[in-house]
């Protein structure tokens, strides 16, 4: 807070520091800040985001197209070399932004908002009533809300910010359980998108239900363990389900291995040695999804858990 006060005092004609009396999550804070904002474009960043110097100027150029309601930039890892987990998540995020989200944008499908490094027109925010205060995944909820109203979200890979990735399983679990439960709840809430089926609405609902897809994977492991205790006939339904789910898991891990070979520079086949780590990471994701689903079923109170940050920067190509 002291740093913010120093800069707001030094650049009082450009910066305004506002304090929310109580802290009850990011979406509530965004709505509070929105009341004090006067600009035409509202940019959303995380506390640890480090924007590249020309990011905002690049961002505004995308809004010259009046059909654009929101622009999602690319978040890059600032601590990728802190440890093995941070490195793998940096690879995961590269695939997420540069393959998954970029591909969606090219195909004119649903482009999700990812919580930071994005911007929305003020008029659009006023139209939709801002962010949902109780949402655990307010970015996905906003993306679904915009899509439902026919607004367009653009992915802009030239707009970049740098931020920390989790470096421990505790950090990862805290972050992902909020993400997964938030997306699951948004998918249930916005199932109505399918009432007016289109490529974009269908893709939006499939994207939002992503965390649910880990549950069949868990079922495959459970069936596999049960088959060791209670041998199943190869022609039984449970045996077929178990084999099918194991095949899907194996193919998923194989594709991840190919992606790692492609992403690693220089490209090395030895990158396949990451696979045991990937397998463990996959199991953690399964566990997180199961816990998130259980919280929904048991109607546990929503809690906004902040991801702890260490302040470590290992990359040399970012500009502080």
What's the domain count of the chain? Answer: 1
**Among the listed ranges 7-16, 127-136, 257-266, which one has the minimum average pLDDT value?**
257-266
Residue 299 Rama label (left phi>0; alpha psi -120 to 50; beta): left
> What is the pLDDT at residue 236?
64
pLDDT at 320: 47
Q: Which two tokens stand for residue 181?
A: 């439960």
Q: Which residues contact 78 (CB under 8 A, 6 or more apart)?
A: 48, 50, 162, 163, 164, 313, 314, 315, 318
For residue 67, the domain's CATH number is: 3.90.550.10
Percent of the chain's residues with pLDDT above 70:
84
Q: Which two tokens stand for residue 146?
A: 């915009």
Residue 316 within a domain: no
Q: Cis bond leading into 266, ω under 30°?
A: yes
Nearest by Cα to 176 from 292, 74, 47:
292
Alpha carbons 148 and 56: distance in angstroms, whole number: 27
Condensed to tens digits (0 to 9), the pLDDT of residues 10-25 reads: 888 888 888 888 878 8
Phi-psi region of 117 (alpha: psi -120 to 50; beta: other; left: phi over 0): left
Angle CA 123–124–128, to nearest 5: 120
Is residue 280 domain-resident?
no
pLDDT interval class at 139 (50, 70, 90): very high
* In-domain check, residue 244: no
Residue 228: pLDDT band (50, 70, 90) is low
Q: What is the pLDDT of residues 27-50, one digit of tens each?
A: 999 999 999 898 899 999 988 899
d(CA 200, CA 155) in angstroms, rounded, equals: 15
pLDDT score, position 8: 79
Rounded Cα gap, residues 308 and 320, in angstroms:
20
Tokens of 149: 């109203």
Q: Is residue 269 part of a domain?
A: no
* Integer Rg of the chain from CA: 21
Q: pLDDT digit string (tens) for 272-283?
A: 667 778 778 888
Residue 19 lies in a domain: yes
Buried b (16+ CB within 10 A) or exposed e, 58-71: bbeebbeeeebbbb
Span 143-158, pLDDT tens digits: 999 999 999 999 999 9
In a domain, 301, yes or no: no
CA distance 257 to 275: 6
CA distances from 11 to 4, 105, 229 (A): 10, 37, 69
For residue range 181-227, list pLDDT tens digits in order.
999 999 999 999 998 889 999 999 999 999 998 887 777 767 666 66
Lowest-pLDDT range of 60-74, 189-203, 219-233, 296-310: 219-233
Cβ atoms within 10 Å, residue 101: 23
Average pLDDT score over residue span 77-95:
91
Kind and range of the H or E run holding 42: strand 41-44
Residue numbers of the domain that contains 88: 2-168
Residue 144, CA distances (Å) to 155, 204, 305 in order:
15, 7, 22
Asked if residue 111 belongs to a domain, the reply is yes
Q: Is residue 242 part of a domain?
A: no
Distance from C-alpha of 24 to C-alpha of 132, rounded to nearest angstrom:
12
pTM beyond cutoff 0.75: yes
Task: Compute how many other C-beta atoms are within 10 angstroms of the C-beta atom of residue 302.
Answer: 16
Hunting for tokens 């899509």 — which residue is that?
147
Residue 272: its pLDDT value, please?
A: 64
Distance (Å) of CA 223 to CA 39, 210, 240, 251, 276: 55, 22, 10, 18, 22
Helix (H) or strand (E) holding 156: strand 152-163
């Amino acid at each position: 807070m002291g740093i913010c006060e120093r800069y707001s005092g030094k650049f009082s004609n450009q910066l305004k520091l506002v304090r929310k009396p109580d802290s009850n999550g990011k979406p509530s804070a965004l709505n509070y800040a929105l009341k004090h904002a006067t600009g035409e474009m509202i940019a959303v960043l995380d506390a640890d985001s480090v924007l590249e110097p020309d990011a905002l100027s690049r961002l505004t150029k995308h809004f010259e197209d009046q059909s654009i309601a929101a622009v999602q930039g690319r978040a890059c890892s600032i601590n990728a070399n802190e440890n093995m987990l941070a490195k793998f998540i940096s690879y995961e995020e590269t695939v997420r932004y540069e393959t998954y989200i970029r591909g969606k944008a090219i195909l004119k499908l649903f482009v999700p908002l990812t919580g930071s490094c994005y911007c929305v027109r003020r008029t659009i925010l006023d139209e939709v009533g801002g962010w949902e205060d109780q949402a655990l995944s307010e970015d996905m909820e906003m993306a679904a809300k915009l899509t439902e109203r026919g607004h367009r979200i653009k992915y802009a890979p030239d707009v970049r910010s740098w931020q920390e990735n989790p470096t421990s399983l505790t950090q990862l679990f805290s972050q992902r359980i909020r993400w997964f439960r938030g997306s699951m709840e948004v998918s249930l809430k916005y199932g109505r998108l399918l009432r007016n089926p289109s490529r974009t609405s269908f893709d939006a609902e499939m994207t939002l239900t992503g965390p649910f897809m880990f549950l069949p994977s868990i079922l495959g492991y459970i069936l596999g363990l049960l088959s060791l205790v209670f041998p199943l006939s190869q022609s039984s339904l449970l045996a077929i389900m178990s084999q099918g789910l194991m095949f899907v898991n194996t193919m998923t891990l194989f594709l991840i291995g190919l992606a790692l070979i492609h992403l690693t520079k220089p490209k090395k086949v030895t990158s396949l040695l990451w696979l045991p780590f990937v397998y463990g990471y996959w199991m953690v994701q399964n566990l997180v999804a199961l816990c998130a689903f259980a919280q929904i079923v048991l109607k546990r109170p929503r809690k906004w858990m902040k991801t702890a940050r260490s302040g470590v920067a290992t990359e040399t190509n970012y500009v502080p």
